[in-house]
């Protein structure tokens, strides 16, 4: 089936595309919402200004729609309708992990548009998921850290197997979600099996006294 991928460039949407492809589906277009609310509960926000470069890395077309607070679902509907009509998508793949808030709202839009919704990561074991990312060739960095117990030194650094084990151990100790489903961190994928070209991020770390921080991606380059 031809699918539109709800795409942010982060680990969840990227891995969901990977699983959909392994299931025999065709990812025909990348679909990205640009939320005007930096604290959006529905959509990922960091690094999205580089979405066009990410799409080039996959060799796929990109559709982008901005979304104002209170109008995020109508913007999503407009985006997916465009992907359906212009690119022949018959379904949508998303990287929803455990958020009922997110998944129910996605389903409400896809049902109205007559689109099948695939969420292959839904309720996947969070620790095993993190391990499988690195094991299956995903290279990703943390672009935001918001959880107590998650070290700021991980910002902007490619996550290794050792880092994953440290994240899992710290998640058990401090009580945050090891796959960051609660917004504990944001990620950016630089290499993945479906990518035709890798990416290289250039940026700067911004840390705060409260223990949170960001890696601001100022430039994203194709390798």
Number of H helices, E strands in the chain: 6, 9
What is the mean predicted confidence (pLDDT) over 120-125? 90
What is the mean predicted confidence (pLDDT) over 168-192? 95
CA atoms of 118 and 106, how far apart (whole Å): 10
What mean pLDDT, rounded, does the chain reach?
92
Lowest mean pLDDT among 101-110, 156-165, 203-212: 101-110
Q: At residue 34, does pLDDT exceed 60? A: yes
Using alpha carbons, list the distances in angstroms from residue 108 to 30, 53, 65, 116, 117.
Answer: 20, 30, 18, 11, 10
Lowest mean pLDDT among 1-15, 65-79, 122-136, 206-220: 65-79
| Ranges of CATH 3.90.1490.10 domains, the chain | 128-222
Question: In the prediction, which pLDDT does 37 show?
Answer: 66
Give the residue among 188, 181, 150 at the shortest CA–CA distance from 11.
Answer: 188
How confident is the model over 188-218, as pLDDT tens digits?
A: 999 999 999 999 999 999 999 998 999 999 9
CA atoms of 145 and 183, how far apart (whole Å): 9
Q: Is the domain defined by 128-222 classed in CATH 3.90.1490.10?
A: yes
| Ranges of CATH 3.40.50.620 domains, the chain | 2-118
What is the mean predicted confidence (pLDDT) over 9-31? 96
Question: In the prediction, which pLDDT does 48 show?
Answer: 86
| pTM recorded for the entire structure | 0.93
Question: In the prediction, which pLDDT does 167 show?
Answer: 98
Joined tokens for residue 13: 């949407």
Q: At residue 41, does pLDDT exceed 60? A: no
Question: In the prediction, which pLDDT does 175 show?
Answer: 95
What is the mean predicted confidence (pLDDT) over 1-17? 95
How confident is the model over 42-73, as pLDDT tens digits?
A: 566 668 889 999 999 999 999 999 887 778 88
CATH assignment of 2-118? Answer: 3.40.50.620
Question: In the prediction, which pLDDT does 163 show?
Answer: 98
């Amino acid at each position: 089936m031809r699918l539109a991928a709800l795409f942010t460039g982060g680990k969840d949407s990227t891995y969901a595309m990977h699983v959909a492809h392994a299931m025999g589906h065709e990812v025909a277009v990348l679909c990205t919402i640009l939320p005007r609310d930096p604290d959006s509960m529905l959509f990922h926000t960091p690094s999205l200004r580089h979405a066009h470069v990410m799409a080039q890395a996959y060799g796929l077309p990109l559709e982008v729609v901005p979304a104002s607070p209170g109008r995020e679902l109508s913007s999503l509907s407009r985006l997916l309708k465009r992907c359906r009509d212009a690119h022949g998508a018959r379904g949508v793949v998303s990287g929803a992990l455990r958020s009922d808030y997110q998944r129910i709202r996605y389903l409400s839009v896809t049902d109205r548009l007559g689109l099948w919704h695939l969420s292959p990561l839904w309720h996947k074991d969070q620790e095993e998921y993190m391990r499988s990312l690195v094991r299956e060739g995903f290279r990703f960095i943390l672009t935001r850290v918001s959880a107590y117990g998650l070290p700021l030194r991980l910002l902007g650094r490619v996550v290794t197997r050792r880092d994953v084990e440290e994240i899992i151990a710290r998640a058990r100790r401090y009580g945050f979600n090891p796959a960051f489903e609660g917004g504990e961190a944001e990620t950016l994928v630089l290499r993945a099996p479906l990518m035709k070209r890798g990416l290289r991020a250039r940026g700067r770390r911004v840390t705060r006294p409260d223990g949170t921080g960001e890696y601001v991606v100022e430039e994203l380059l194709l390798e």
